[in-house]
Chain A
Amino acid sequence: MSIITGFTEPTQGKVEINGYNVSKKAKKAKREIGYMPETTPLYNELTPKEFIQYMAELKGVPRKTRKQEIERVMQAVNIADVKNRLIRNLSRGYKQRVSLAGALVGNPKVLILDEPTVGLDPKQVTQIRDLIKSLGKNHTVLLSSHILSEVSQICKKVIIINKGKLIAVDSPKNLENKTEKENILLVTVEDSENKIEDVAKRIKDINKIKLVKTLSDGTKQYSISSKDDTDIRKEIFSTFAKNEITIFELKKAEASLEDAFLDLINNQQEEPEKTKEEIKQEKKENKEKQKKEKQDKKAEKIKKNEEQKSKKTEKNKKKGGDK
């Protein structure tokens, strides 16, 4: 993210924003971006109004429209009621919104938001999410987040990057669907005689039945997996009822984006980890080789030295003898 915003220079590759290369045409590229960093850095000694004004000036908002622009942004993020208080004294939620306002000012085409809802209370979180959604209508919003439920709520496209490698680019729904290989139902039943497994065998389409947990009121929760594209809820209901198993709850377990994420990461991790180990081993081997070589050289040197010494002593002896 800091490479995209031009905060750090890339070592490889390039970033283009609306056709402007960030490292070569920095000024023009940066004008297209509104960036809200994760740590929401702000000048504590300024008021929100002054801060936004400063950001507007930095971004080169023309003087004529500056006042209007500042007002517009403050209304958009709803901070007009605290605009003259010092940022130092504002709550986390307000600070977050001031930071967002700073990113919004100047109406940039691309908004880059780094974890915009971290550390907010639930009400503020929904407010900010709604705001981001509405911003998405007029801006391209690039949002980074660890809260995947948030991502599946707000975003239209998800990019998953693991250890600097691109794993997936898709819509959240597609990603969720990909991991949904079979139907899983969650059933909570009262089954004092423990005959559920026998009963379940009678239903053709059930692949597997597994006890998830026993609840405190004596009921048990099972997960039942069946083949794809078959809905066995009706059948379960009727056969369980006939066999005097009372169903308390019956629901379909949906694959979330989190499952998709874990799936993708796990699939990808196996390979690089192996290579890493290999690299480590190679390094070790190399080191050992080098050590050996060094030791050999040392030994050789010592040998040579000793030989020379012995030669010298022999010579000396000879000299002594000559004398």
Chain B
Amino acid sequence: MWAIIKKEVKTYFFSPIGYVFIGSFLLMSSFFFYQYIFAYGYIEYSYLFYYTSELLTFTVALLTMGMFSSERKNGTETLLLTSPRSIISIVMGKFLAALIVILITEVFSLIYYVIICIFAGGITGLTVTLSTLLGFVLLTMSYIAFGMFISSLTENQIIAGVVTIILLLASWFLPDMSSAFNVISPLYQFQKFPEGIFPINETITLLTQTALFILLTIVVLQRRKNLK
């Protein structure tokens, strides 16, 4: 698994994808940060994440769209599946690699927190910050697992990317129509975290979503092996 994580992270940064992802993400969040402080006067780190989490809906597909689809298209899938690695470790390796890239971004975004702390003259709102960060990690996990699942279904990166974005967008807006959709919306679940109370229900929901889609990806790959 470690070999796969290492190689995947490497390829994210050998190709423009990794930089585009981190760059666009930080650019947009800088913009939001600026706007919050100067236009609205909110001096709180966690507010930033309301917007950046929405931004993630669009950008996460950048990381996940090629995960399995490009391997299948290039035929490199053969190399993975004929190596003495189990499908579980292949899927987990790819999942964790994408997660690492997002965690790197998150570490960068701590700059805003530092800036706020400097201006506030000390550490402020630590619990809210921590809970927001945790929520954000859970949200990205759920998103990555979903994108990975979509990527395992098709051979075409673009289709995987577009479908991922559309379905994630749908899950974002569905709770507006009926509260019955709250459970399937990762973004809705996340928005409890910046309130500063550690929400157990939402944590479990997000983790379940993650596990579900990782499992589905494994099933898809295993089935394809049997159906060829």
Question: Does the CB pair B81–A55 fall under 8 Å?
Answer: no
Chain A residue nearest in CB terms to B2: A57
**B-binding segment of A30-38, A156-164, A179-187, A306-314:** A30-38
* A residues near B86, Cβ cutoff 8 Å: 26-27
Contact with B along A44-64 (1 / 0, CB 8 A): 111000100011011110000
* A residues near B225, Cβ cutoff 8 Å: 7-9
Most buried by A among B4, B82, B85, B225: B82
Question: Does the CB pair B7–A30 fall under 8 Å?
Answer: no
Partner of B78, one of A35, A45, A59: A35
Partner of B11, one of A5, A9, A43, A59: A43
Chain A residue nearest in CB terms to B73: A41
Number of A residues with CB within 8 Å of any CB on chain B: 29
Does B127 make an interface contact (CB < 8 A)? Answer: no
Does B178 make an interface contact (CB < 8 A)? Answer: no
Question: Does the CB pair A58–B75 fall under 8 Å?
Answer: no
Question: Does the CB pair A54–B76 fall under 8 Å?
Answer: no
CA distance A280 to B77 in the complex (A): 37
- Would A26 and B84 be within 8 Å (CB), given that A41-B74, A41-B79, A54-B7 are in contact? yes
CA distance A9 to B85 in the complex (A): 16
Partner of B83, one of A8, A43, A58: A58
Question: Does the CB pair B6–A57 fall under 8 Å?
Answer: yes
- Would A27 and B84 be within 8 Å (CB), given that A43-B76, A58-B4 are in contact? yes
Tell me the smallest distance from the CB of B217 to a CB of chain A, in Å: 18
Partner of A6, one of B3, B77, B79, B81: B81
CA distance A43 to B83 in the complex (A): 15
* Residues of chain B in range 81-99 having any CB-CB distance to chain A below 8 Å: 81-86
CA distance A41 to B93 in the complex (A): 20
- Would A41 and B82 be within 8 Å (CB), given that A8-B225, A57-B3, A58-B3 are in contact? no
Question: Does the CB pair A46–B11 fall under 8 Å?
Answer: yes
Number of B residues with CB within 8 Å of any CB on chain A: 25
Does A151 make an interface contact (CB < 8 A)? Answer: no
Does A2 make an interface contact (CB < 8 A)? Answer: yes
> Binding site of B, secondary structure by majority: helix, strand, loop or mixed?
helix
Does A84 make an interface contact (CB < 8 A)? Answer: no
Contact with A along B6-22 (1 / 0, CB 8 A): 11001100110000000
Tell me the smallest distance from the CB of A297 to a CB of chain B, in Å: 36
Question: Does the CB pair B76–A5 fall under 8 Å?
Answer: no
Does A76 make an interface contact (CB < 8 A)? Answer: no
Question: Does the CB pair A2–B228 fall under 8 Å?
Answer: yes
- Would A31 and B228 be within 8 Å (CB), given that A42-B76, A45-B11, A45-B15 are in contact? no
Question: Does the CB pair B15–A41 fall under 8 Å?
Answer: no
CA distance A57 to B79 in the complex (A): 12
CA distance A45 to B6 in the complex (A): 14
CA distance A252 to B74 in the complex (A): 48
CA distance A44 to B228 in the complex (A): 26
Most buried by A among B2, B7, B80: B7
Does B179 make an interface contact (CB < 8 A)? Answer: no
Question: Does the CB pair A55–B228 fall under 8 Å?
Answer: no
CA distance A33 to B81 in the complex (A): 12
Partner of B82, one of A28, A33, A50, A54: A33
Does A316 make an interface contact (CB < 8 A)? Answer: no
* B residues near A50, Cβ cutoff 8 Å: 10
Tell me the smallest distance from the CB of B137 to a CB of chain A, in Å: 27
CA distance A8 to B228 in the complex (A): 6
Most buried by B among A9, A44, A58, A60: A58
Does B201 make an interface contact (CB < 8 A)? Answer: no
Question: Does the CB pair A102–B79 fall under 8 Å?
Answer: yes
* Residues of chain A in range 38-96 having any CB-CB distance to chain B below 8 Å: 39, 41-46, 50, 54-55, 57-60
- Would A37 and B228 be within 8 Å (CB), given that A27-B86, A58-B3 are in contact? no
* B residues near A6, Cβ cutoff 8 Å: 81-82
* A residues near B83, Cβ cutoff 8 Å: 30, 55, 58-59
Tell me the smallest distance from the CB of A12 to a CB of chain B, in Å: 13
**Can you give 21 contacting A-B residue pairs, CB < 8 Å?**
A2-B228, A5-B82, A8-B226, A26-B84, A31-B84, A35-B78, A37-B78, A39-B75, A41-B74, A43-B74, A44-B74, A45-B11, A45-B14, A55-B79, A57-B2, A58-B3, A58-B4, A58-B79, A58-B83, A59-B83, A102-B79
